[in-house]
Amino acid sequence: MAEKRYRIGDFAKLVGLSTYTLRYYEEQGLIVAQRDENGVRFYTEEDIRWVGFILHLKGTGMRLNELKRYVKLRAMGDTTITERREMLQKVRDNAEADIAELQMHLQVLGHKIDWYDGKVDHTIADSESFHDYLQRFNDEKG
């Protein structure tokens, strides 16, 4: 039984991208569409999984030039596994740093919301600034 083929419009819907984006990714060498006997591009189930992985990498903040390098290394085969692993580790480290930074921002936002709540319900003195309020948390850590 032949593998299912998806034309670009159907494939775009399946992977959640526009046909324009798919063509752009193809131009950049991130994906390779196959062509039928009439020259019409098509994609397969394997392409769905590959685009999903590309989108995961993109979602972690991997830049286009890094994605292109990863794809080239992958095409070279198993001799590049160590280099690809190092690339993925770097992306992972960067993503973890981004998460830590976001968590810090969320903590500050939470404190600001709590400070506003304290101002509204008068559990925080009118004279206490947000800076002074935050200082209490820093003093507790030290």
pTM of the prediction?
0.71
pLDDT (0 to 100) of residue 93: 94
Residue 76 lies in a domain: no
* CATH number for position 11: 1.10.1660.10
pLDDT (0 to 100) of residue 105: 95
**Structural domain total, the chain:** 1
Residue 48 lies in a domain: yes
Beta bridge partners of 41: 35
Query: Is 135 or 66 the better-scoring residue by pLDDT?
Result: 66
* Residue indicated by tokens 């770097």: 90
Report whether 15 contacts 54 (CB < 8 A).
no
Residue 78 lies in a domain: no
Residue 42 lies in a domain: yes
Residue 40 lies in a domain: yes
| pLDDT class of 1 with cuts at 50, 70, 90 | low
Of the chain, the percentage scoring pLDDT greater than 70 comes to: 97
| Cα distance between residue 123 and residue 119, in whole Å | 7
Number of other residues whose CB lies within 10 A of the CB of residue 70: 21
Residue span of the structural domain in which 30 resides: 1-59
Residue 21 lies in a domain: yes
Residue 99 lies in a domain: no
| Cα distance between residue 138 and residue 5, in whole Å | 59
User: Residue 140 pLDDT > 90, yes or no?
Assistant: no
Residue 72 lies in a domain: no
